[in-house]
Amino acid sequence: MTLAADKNTDIVVPDGHVKLTIDGAEVVAPKGELLIRTAERLGTVIPRFCDHPLLEPAGACRQCLVEVEMGGRPMPKPQASCTLTVADGMVVKTQLTSPVADKAQAGVMELLLINHPLDCPICDKGGECPLQNQALKHGRTDSRFTETKRTFPKPIAVSSQVLLDRERCVLCQRCTRFSEQIAGDPFIELLERGSQQQIGTAQDQPFQSYFSGNTIQICPVGALTSAAYRFRSRPFDLVSTPSVCEHCAGGCATRTDWRRGKITRRLAAEDPQVNEEWICDKGRFAFTYTTEPDRLLRPRVRDAKTGELRDASWTEALRVAAEGLTKAKEAGGVGVLPGGRLTVEDAYAYSKFARVALGTNDIDYRNRPSSAEELAFLGSTVSGTNPEHGVTYGDIEKAPAVLLIALEPEEEAPGVFLRLRKGNRKHGNRVFHMGQWTTPAVVKTNGTLIPCLPGEEADMLGRLPSEVDELLRRPDAVILLGERAAEITGLFSTARELAAQTGAKLAWIPRRAGELAAIEAGALPTMLPGGRPVTDSVARAEVELAWGLETGTLPTAEGRDLAGILGAVANGRLAGLVIGSVDVHDLPNPELAERALDSGVFVVSLDLRESSVTRRADVVLPVAAISEKAGTYINWEGRRRPFPVVITGTNRLPDCRVLDTLAVEMDADLFTQTPAAAMADLGRLGHHTGNRIPAPSVDAGRPNRPGQRHAVLATWHQLIDHGSMQDGEPHLAGTARPAVARLSVDTAKAFGVADAALITVGTDRGSVTLLAEFADLPEGVVWLPSNSTPATVRTSLGAGHGALVTVTTAANGAAS
């Protein structure tokens, strides 16, 4: 933008730009820019309600009227500046210089307020309300309306978490446009007409969208409110702290509002490179888990006499833990399972603790199904990922084609899903989903399903439709792998080959927020921080130097992975375990894990809340929740997402601090007293430039084939399910997608369950019973949500993606 100091100067108008005058100032603007934006760049704020930079223009509210003159002729009426694009020679007068525009705006405002209840004193939006603010700035001081206002019963729940006070609505349609354009869930609409016009849902279908909370945030009035936050506080009483979402590997920027030590709400923060202005409902509403009654507040140790856990002081707990671990170390060794939700700082502390205090490489953060092939992939391909060289959200949006393999974006990476949808809508990119059925995400990304058996994905990559293969060869094409890739033999290897052959960029999008950080920190049996192979003497020497260790102190052999550690514990080769936030039910083999924990092994557990692990631990050390500590996540792009402490003064300790102190008790120094110290210590290691772990080379596995007696299981997590980090938020839980078992009509017939409402999917371990729904799955395949029922796929079936299962009519009528 160029601003003429003096009207006579000749302004150079670059190609593709036009010159116009706003309030007497000459402005150069790119062709196609909306007038309201050009004015904004000039510092002139034209009042508005419906206008939103990320939504398509609507011209619905008429608040943004300005006077416009084209070719010397004034347009007959004031024009909506949010729908009018700039043109050469346009002369615009906003409310600043035009009494006509000013009066028009005041008039629109007066009309908008006619039926508005003006209940600001009890309205959630009061204090941060564009209507309130703009009415004061651009409205009349009084209303000429003396008649009775139209009223509606209030509020109506458009979903369990979004409440609508219709009389406050100014019909700007931001909410409906967001739902339709951004989320692809047009379940709220403008209903009725005239003075009865109102937002609403269909009678039989609530506003079910994983992104519904965004409508609350962008509603320019208090018409849409959150059931969880309604009447809890006034915005001006809250402290707002920037934060980062802990729920998936997306790394969305959020803002946490809190007061008196309690979080009242979470909002989307703006980050154009990552989440733009949107977050999913899990990121917005799932924060109450940290204040559940089972939150651990004090250390506990197992009483020698009673055998029960009892509260203990930090001093005692740390001493008992240190003694126990030292003993266990001598008695065979200690394994470390940090879990996949840590910050880099905390993960680094576990990594260093294992090596320095326990002298072992027996550490694996992967508290989920995993494989040796994956481990090689993480070392060779994922470690060191960064937005400069890897795939970014922006790349996904602009890619000509994106192939998703074993990744259900809306359920497992909602931010990625929104970018895929945007890419398709704005740039027409092609999205291919290799999966088992036409999920909502396939439809909403206007995508194409490449169907295959669960487990057959790797093999399928060798037989891609020629159209896909060709599109992947276009510059900037992208291949994305999901968490369950680890359950598919040969997928990492074949995906790498495909990327190399086609030139497409390859990225891995895990489900948990801490995965990339844990890889970076070396919380894996084969890798030291920065992806340095533990077997590489140069790499070890680098780390030994930085950590001030004598040469040759670091263990030289690769450690045990998760299954190895649990197995070694179960058969007595390992005598101790240090476990971070790990839920036994997430593990590929919960039974083995429980047996291991019950085998008399010495367990130190660092956790937020009571769990199946803390209950079996010998020492429980409580740690700080995300809002009580500072730290850094690394999202799937490899982008660092640092965040400060939100709630100050809780005295809760982050994992890195607890481990640092524990290490001191064991005569080792981690230098991770604070997250900042841990980060600095990690920084001293610098980038790894030496050898990397070799890439995996595993042939595509032969998938289980369905037969007469067995079907093949496809499974993944739904975004909103029984995950413990969604505890304590019933309004959010109410918007979960219903848990159903999916299979094709033919499969149902083949297994004789075509007429059954409830079907039972079983293994020799147990069963899951659910309502059946028909979908376009391959023959002989049945799909289950991994963790949406009390009986879960991992715990009750002991099975995973690609396993053989039985399908029968439910014995009794009850879903489990």
Partner 1 sequence: MTEMLNDVFGQDTRTKAQQLIARYPQSRSALLPMLHLVQSVEGFVSQDGIRFCAEQLELTTAEVSAVATFYTMYKRKPCGEHLVSVCTNTLCAALGGDAIYARLKEELGSDGKPLGHEQTSEDGKVTLEHAECLAACDLGPVLQVNYEYFDNQDPDTASDLVAKLRAGERPAPTRGAPLTDFKQAELQLAGFFEGRDLDVAGPSAAKETLRGNTVAQDRGWSAPVMPDGVLPPVPEKKK
Number of chain positions touching partner 1 (CB under 8 A):
15
Tell me which stretch binds ligand SF4 (CB under 6 A): 118-126, 279-287, 378-386, 737-745: 279-287
Q: Does 189 bind partner 1 (CB under 8 A)?
A: yes
Strand order in the sheet with 576-579: 309-311, 300-302, 619-622, 602-607, 576-579, 334-337
Residue 82 interface partner, choices ligand SF4, ligand FES, partner 1, none, CB cut-off 5-8 Å depending on type: ligand FES
Our CB check for partner 1 shows the closer of 314 and 774 to be 774
Residue 169 interface partner, choices ligand FES, ligand SF4, partner 1, none, CB cut-off 5-8 Å depending on type: ligand SF4
Closest distance of CB 335 from partner 1, Å:
50
How many Å apart are CA 491 and CA 645, to the nearest integer?
39
Return contacts of 236-239, CB within 8 angstroms, 24+ apart. 236/127, 236/128, 238/264
Our CB check for ligand SF4 shows the closer of 254 and 795 to be 254
Helix (H) or strand (E) holding 516: helix 515-521
Contact map string, positions 199 to 228, toward partner 1, x by CB under 8 A = -xxxxxx-----------------------
Strand order in the sheet with 162-164: 156-157, 162-164, 224-226
Peptide bond into 155 cis (omega under 30): yes
Q: Which of 66, 82, 244, 253 binds ligand FES (CB under 6 A)?
A: 82
How many Å apart are CA 601 and CA 334, to the nearest integer?
9
Closest distance of CB 146 from partner 1, Å:
25
3-class DSSP state of 292:
coil
Q: Does 59 bind ligand FES (CB under 6 A)?
A: yes
How many Å apart are CA 322 and CA 665, to the nearest integer?
6
Our CB check for ligand FES shows the closer of 105 and 201 to be 105
Our CB check for partner 1 shows the closer of 189 and 669 to be 189
Q: Which of 29, 84, 169, 539 binds ligand SF4 (CB under 6 A)?
A: 169
Q: Which residues contact 221 (CB under 8 A, 6 or more apart)?
A: 49, 116, 125, 129, 130, 131, 168, 169, 170
How many Å apart are CA 292 and CA 727, to the nearest integer?
8
Q: Which of 50, 328, 337, 645 binds ligand FES (CB under 6 A)?
A: 50
Q: Which of 93, 116, 174, 419 binds ligand SF4 (CB under 6 A)?
A: 174
Among the listed residues 527, 499, 420, the one whose alpha carbon sits nearest the alpha carbon of residue 184: 420
Closest distance of CB 7 from partner 1, Å:
43
How many Å apart are CA 246 and CA 536, to the nearest integer?
33
Q: Does 80 bind ligand FES (CB under 6 A)?
A: yes
How many Å apart are CA 516 and CA 391, to the nearest integer?
14
Tell me which stretch binds ligand FES (CB under 6 A): 59-67, 244-252, 368-376, 484-492: 59-67
Closest distance of CB 738 from ligand FES, Å:
37
Q: Which of 34, 39, 61, 418 binds ligand FES (CB under 6 A)?
A: 61
Closest distance of CB 518 from ligand FES, Å:
46
Q: Which of 13, 120, 190, 664 binds partner 1 (CB under 8 A)?
A: 190
Q: Which of 155, 184, 206, 283 binds ligand SF4 (CB under 6 A)?
A: 283
Q: Compute the C-alpha angle 333/334/340, nearest 5°.
A: 150
Closest distance of CB 292 from ligand SF4, Å:
19
Q: Which of 36, 90, 163, 280 binds ligand SF4 (CB under 6 A)?
A: 280
Q: Does 746 bind partner 1 (CB under 8 A)?
A: no
Q: Does 725 bind ligand SF4 (CB under 6 A)?
A: no
3-class DSSP state of 400:
coil
Residue list 159-188, contact with partner 1 (CB under 8 A): 185-188
Tokens of 453: 């058996």
Residue 585 interface partner, choices ligand FES, partner 1, ligand SF4, none, CB cut-off 5-8 Å depending on type: none
Q: Does 221 bind ligand SF4 (CB under 6 A)?
A: yes
Residue type, 671: F
Our CB check for partner 1 shows the closer of 208 and 724 to be 208
Tokens of 515: 């995965």
Question: Which residue's C-beta sits nearest to ligand SF4?
Answer: 283
What DSSP string describes 200-240?
A: E-BTTB----TTTHHHHHH-SSTTEEETTTTTS--GGG-EE
Residue 63 interface partner, choices partner 1, ligand FES, ligand SF4, none, CB cut-off 5-8 Å depending on type: ligand FES
Among the listed residues 227, 247, 282, 265, the one whose alpha carbon sits nearest the alpha carbon of residue 255: 265
Q: What does DSSP assign to residue 379?
A: I
Q: Which of 19, 48, 422, 742 binds ligand FES (CB under 6 A)?
A: 48
Our CB check for ligand FES shows the closer of 64 and 621 to be 64
Q: What does DSSP assign to residue 26?
A: E
Q: Which of 415, 675, 696, 703 binds ligand SF4 (CB under 6 A)?
A: 415
How many Å apart are CA 262 and CA 787, to the nearest integer?
29
Phi, psi values for residue 631, rounded to 5°: 170, -175
Q: What does DSSP assign to residue 85?
A: B
How many CA atoms, within 13 angstroms, populate the side-chain half-sphere of residue 399? Answer: 30
Residue 191 interface partner, choices partner 1, ligand FES, ligand SF4, none, CB cut-off 5-8 Å depending on type: partner 1
Task: Name the residues that contact partner 1, by CB under 8 A.
Answer: 185-193, 200-205
Which residues of this protein are in contact with ligand SF4, per CB under 6 A?
169-175, 199, 219-221, 223-224, 245, 247-248, 250-252, 275, 279-280, 282-283, 414-415
Tell me which residues touch ligand FES (CB under 6 A). 48-51, 59-64, 80, 82
